Amino acid sequence: MQDRTVQWDVTNEARVKKDRPSAGRTFLKVFLAFIMAIGLSILLSWPVVRNFNKIQEIALHFKPKAELQSTATRIGLGNLKTYQESLDKDLAGIQKKLSVFLPKGPFLIINTSANNFRLMNEAKVLREGVCSTGSYTILQAGDNKQWIFKTPRGMFKILNKVNDPVWKKPDWAFIEEGLPVPSANHPSRYEYGVLGDHSMILGDGYMIHGTLYKRFLGMPVTHGCVRMGDADLEEVFKTMQIGSKVYIY
């Protein structure tokens, strides 16, 4: 009987010993739990970081909105009417000064991004259509020479109107064709019929003119000039006068 009790105690003690974790294993478990907590923390923080501005905007929504008191105090409650009148007067003055910039007659707006145009008179659209503008090609030749074929942006004026224009080919036109550049007034520089029936001079060598390449209208293919189809060119040429404004963007 006594022997059996002793035997039981020994077995129990061994099992308890086996179940008790060692210090190393406990440390490992704590460390694992720590790593898991940090990982989860970063995981939970990520949506906060990614939507930081949105969360801030939501939080700002609950702040009290701006009040009008300070404006009323600045002006003075007794002066509201007179102040409004002076504001109206100021506004009318500014509007008058601004109206000087509005074109007095017909004007042309050219969109180089969409390659289209609008012929306008005050707020009325007289004609709309497609055109071709600069191709944004940089032509590089030897001797560090290069040309960029882009349509300039800004406000221009029609400096001259020409019927049956003749194109005097610049140097780049020969270089682009792989031809030797002739002298300044060489007959090979003059080409007839390639600019259509009319051209309108914008300055610095830029023009609005017709084209032989009608299939390219609506595309950025030119060397900087604005090309139009025959009917559009006819209408624009008739409507625009010398001094009329051309807005290119």
Partner 1 sequence: MNSIGSFFKWFGRNRRIQVIFIILVLSLPLFLIIYGIILPVRNYKPSPASSTVAMGSTDTTGIASVRIDDAQLAEVRTIIRKENEKAFQKNRLSLAEKDSIYMVLDLPDSLLILEIKGVAVKKTKILDMEISNRFALIPHENLLPWISEPFTLARDLSTIPKSPIVIKQAPKDTIEAAKTSSAPQLPDSTGVFYTFYFDRNLLVEVEQANPPEEDVMERVKAYRSIKRKESTRSVIHMLKKPQQNDQPMMIKLVVSDVDARAMYRAVPTKTHLILKL
Shortest distance in whole angstroms from residue 77 CB to partner 1: 6
Q: Give Cα 133 distance to the centre of its chain.
A: 18
Shortest distance in whole angstroms from residue 51 CB to partner 1: 9
Q: Partners of 191 in the beta sheet?
A: 167
Decide if residue 144 touches partner 1 (CB under 8 A). no
Shortest distance in whole angstroms from residue 43 CB to partner 1: 9
- Residue of the chain from 74, 124, 184, 192 that contacts partner 1 (CB under 8 A): 74
Shortest distance in whole angstroms from residue 203 CB to partner 1: 14
Q: How far apart are CA 108 and CA 162, in angstroms?
A: 17
Q: How far apart are CA 121 and CA 130, in angstroms?
A: 18
Sign of CA dihedral 183, 188, 190, 191: negative
**Number of residues in contact with partner 1 under rule CB under 8 A:** 85
For partner 1, the binding residues in 166-185 under the rule CB under 8 A are 175-179
- Residue of the chain from 8, 13, 82, 91 that contacts partner 1 (CB under 8 A): 91
Decide if residue 63 touches partner 1 (CB under 8 A). yes
- Residue of the chain from 2, 5, 22, 113 that contacts partner 1 (CB under 8 A): 113
3-class DSSP state of 198 = strand
Q: Cβ of 110: how many Cβ atoms within 10 Å?
A: 21
Decide if residue 128 touches partner 1 (CB under 8 A). no
